[in-house]
Amino acid sequence: MKRRNFVQSSVLAGASLLSTGVLKAASLTGDTTVAASDKPFNLNYGIHDGMFKNHVGADFIDQIKFAYDRGFRAIEDNGMAARPVDQQKKIGDTLAKLGMAMGVFVQPGLGNNTNMLASGKADYLDKFIASCKEAVEVAKRINSKLVTVVPGDFVRNLPIGIQTGNVIEAMKKGTAIVEPHGLVIVMEPLSDNPDLFLRTPDQGYAICKAVGSPSCKILYDMYHVQRNQGNIISTLDWVYDEIGYYQIGDNPGRNEPGTGEVNYKNIFKHIYNKGYKGVLGMEHGNAGQGKEGELALIKAYREADSFLS
């Protein structure tokens, strides 16, 4: 076959497959037309509950369907473990029918300042182990592979090396529970307050290397990285092989891309070129109010995602 004919045939075949996918999406969500602006994004951005409530109401499943029709193909839900079991199953079933991915949920029963793994105390470790076991069951209901863990606060009367060793040992015990189930613990460096033990990706990198498990990775939240140290792309490259998940939020304000100082279009292009295929969680607010704010959010993601044009 001549090259020109081959290319034309390939384009036609690709168009046929795309049309099939669009028709499937329409049948699942009730939408009968899919505009070019509503086709899937280049990267897999994950919405959260409340992001589109002004368009379709408070029901998260309705928001998921609305997001699908706008081109989003993933969700994340920090509070998933606290939802009733039947609701978890309904969300999981909805994602499966739509072919959408589930991003992170926060490990059950563990707050940012309550985990205290750096202390090395047995009672905190016992709670962490119990939460790992519960996380496995939650993950099964929603077909998730990612659970967020924050190691908790510094312990001021212990050297930093001892605290780091305590976190490593805790993570080894936790990953021994989740790894057989294909679940990945992603540790999140935060900028919320200076008392938190884990604040930078390089800290997470050192812990992941010491744990030595595919179930121990970094949650690279770009909002927190920007606040703590900046230099997002270079830092991302340094720790890339230990990143299990990304989260998004512009700074200041922690809203959608384009509302702050971070050049997300360049960052998204960089992540895309590195071959990342997972979910990027939209862990931020809407800068605008009402339906207009929700439409502005979608527009902002279309603009930031236009890095191939």
SS3 287: coil
- Looking at residue 274, the DSSP 8-state letter turns out to be T
> Do residues 29 and 125 share a domain?
no
Closest CA to 131 of 111, 101, 154: 111
Q: Is 265 within the bounds of a domain? A: yes
Q: Is 189 within the bounds of a domain? A: yes
CA angle 162, 225, 274 (to 5 degrees): 105
Q: How far is CA 171 from the centre of its chain?
A: 20
Question: For residue 100, what are its two tokens?
Answer: 């959408």
Give the domain range for residue 116: 38-304
> Do residues 100 and 18 share a domain?
no
Q: Is 117 within the bounds of a domain? A: yes
Residue 187 backbone phi and psi in degrees, to 5: -85, 135
> Do residues 10 and 125 share a domain?
no
Question: For residue 137, what are its two tokens?
Answer: 């069951």
> Do residues 166 and 188 share a domain?
yes
Tell me the pTM.
0.88
Q: Is 309 within the bounds of a domain? A: no
User: Diameter of the chain by CA atoms?
Assistant: 74
> Do residues 87 and 3 share a domain?
no
Provide, rounded to the nearest whole percent, the portion of the chain with pLDDT above 90. Answer: 85
- Residue 159: CATH number of its domain: 3.20.20.150
Please report the pLDDT score of residue 110 as a whole number.
79
> Do residues 24 and 75 share a domain?
no
Residue 66 backbone phi and psi in degrees, to 5: -60, -45
SS3 275: coil
Q: Is 126 within the bounds of a domain? A: yes
pLDDT tens column, 130-168: 999 999 999 999 999 999 999 999 999 999 999 999 999
- Looking at residue 210, the DSSP 8-state letter turns out to be H
> Do residues 12 and 133 share a domain?
no
Length of the chain: 309
Closest CA to 297 of 251, 256, 263, 248: 256
pLDDT tens column, 177-224: 999 999 999 999 999 999 999 999 999 999 999 999 999 999 999 999
Number of domains the chain contains: 2
Q: Hey, CA dihedral for 110, 111, 117, 120, is it positive or negative? A: negative
Q: Is 295 within the bounds of a domain? A: yes
* Beta-sheet strand order (sheet of 279-281): 101-102, 74-75, 44-47, 279-281, 243-247, 216-221, 184-187, 146-149, 105-106
Helical (H) or strand (E) element with 105: strand 105-106
Provide, rounded to the nearest whole percent, the portion of the chain with pLDDT above 70. Answer: 89
Buried b (16+ CB within 10 A) or exposed e, 54-78: bebeeebeebbbbbbbbbbbbbbbe
> Do residues 71 and 142 share a domain?
yes
> Do residues 5 and 110 share a domain?
no
Question: For residue 308, what are its two tokens?
Answer: 């191939």
Q: Which amino acid is at 10?
A: S
> Do residues 62 and 25 share a domain?
no
- Per-residue confidence at 23, pLDDT binned at 50, 70, 90? very low
> Do residues 14 and 150 share a domain?
no
Question: For residue 6, what are its two tokens?
Answer: 């081959």
Question: For residue 118, what are its two tokens?
Answer: 């750096």
Q: Which of 106-115, 178-187, 260-269 has the lowest mean pLDDT?
A: 106-115
> Do residues 54 and 122 share a domain?
yes
